[in-house]
Amino acid sequence: MEPGLPSGPEGPALPPAHPTRRGMFGVEDSGDTSGYGGLVARDTNPIRGASTPRPWHEDFERLGDEFGAALEQAGIGYEDAVEKVIVDRGQMTIFIKRERLAEVARVFRDDASLRFEMCVGVNGVHYPDEADRELHVCIQLLSITHNRRVSLEVACPDSDPHLPSITATYPSANWHERETYDFFGVIFDGHPALTRIEMPDDWPGHPQRKDYPLGGIPVEYKGATIPPPDERRAYQ
């Protein structure tokens, strides 16, 4: 039986059915030159639904218990800091409430039972259909001491795209937060120098958001243009 799946009278209970989508980019009624037009993909967005029910795999059970004890020792209420915990495909993702992100990051670094010394990545994701939770930031932490990893995820609305910076705890997050700001528009309060890192300073918009135009943008330095997708050559 898979960890976290409750058992029923006729064997392990199956996870709820996920909606599916066809194709890679959701383009319809136009030429698809990506080669993925016939792909049928299962929607595994972990935002939908509640926490993965326990018991989890023993390693995640231990980490979950140690994290809860570390929060209590730091004087942080579990319900005040944590939205949910998703355990899926060999990875634990803890959804953190945005106002407690900086405090929780310090707990992960400083508590002896956790000791996640390294932040190895900060990445943005845009879910335009998630009302008041359109922008997500995923943070990957690594413990060299205990040889394990954990992912933190935090959401904020497009109308108020502010999150606390974790650079005071993890200096390696500096450039990652700048990239997430550059491409997704998430503003990290308390960052020492939150400026664009790849796009020009006067570039309009944030190119990795789902609502960013797909084409028709002049290519700088070459004088060429990229035609919109419906005007590109298609191969049938």
If pLDDT is split at 50, 70 and 90, which confidence band does 115 have? very high
Higher pLDDT, 222 or 209: 209
CB atoms within 10 A of CB 227: 10
How many Cα atoms are found within 13 Å in the side-chain-facing hemisphere of 114?
Answer: 25
If pLDDT is split at 50, 70 and 90, which confidence band does 137 have? very high
Helices (H), the chain: 58-73, 78-81, 101-110, 173-184
Give the C-alpha separation, 215 to 230, whole Å.
9
Higher pLDDT, 102 or 234: 102
Residue 119 has pLDDT above 50, yes or no: yes
pLDDT at residue 78 in the model: 95
Domains and CATH numbers, the chain: 47-231 (3.30.460.80)
Residue 40 has pLDDT above 90, yes or no: no
pLDDT at residue 220 in the model: 54
User: Closest Cα partner for 139 from 185, 111, 98?
Assistant: 98
Residue 12 has pLDDT above 50, yes or no: no
User: Closest Cα partner for 142 from 118, 121, 173?
Assistant: 118
Task: Name 42's bridge partners.
Answer: 20
**pLDDT tens, residue by residue, 166-216:** 999 999 999 999 999 999 999 999 999 999 999 988 888 999 999 888 765
Give the C-alpha separation, 88 to 92, whole Å.
7
With H, G, I as helix, E, B as strand and everything else as coil, classify residue 223. Answer: coil
Asked if residues 107 and 138 have their Cβ atoms less than 8 Å apart, the reply is no
pLDDT at residue 91 in the model: 93
pLDDT at residue 18 in the model: 52
Backbone angles phi, psi at 86, to 5 degrees: -110, 125
pLDDT at residue 213 in the model: 80
**Cα pseudo-dihedral 71, 163, 147, 62, rounded to 10:** 30
Residue 8 has pLDDT above 60, yes or no: no
CB atoms within 10 A of CB 95: 19
Residue 92 has pLDDT above 90, yes or no: yes
Q: Model-level pTM?
A: 0.75
If pLDDT is split at 50, 70 and 90, which confidence band does 89 have? confident
Backbone angles phi, psi at 175, to 5 degrees: -70, -30
The pLDDT of 125-139, averaged and rounded, is 94
> Which residue has 């796009």 as its token pair?
199
Question: What element of type H or E holds 46?
Answer: none
Asked if residues 94 and 116 have their Cβ atoms less than 8 Å apart, the reply is no
Higher pLDDT, 182 or 52: 182
32-46, 65-79, 101-115, 146-160: least confident range: 32-46
The percent of residues above 90 in pLDDT, for the chain, comes to 62
Backbone angles phi, psi at 183, to 5 degrees: -90, -25
pLDDT at residue 34 in the model: 61
Asked if residues 104 and 96 have their Cβ atoms less than 8 Å apart, the reply is yes
Mean model confidence pLDDT for the chain: 83
Give the C-alpha separation, 14 to 8, whole Å.
9
Tokens representing 207 are 């190119």
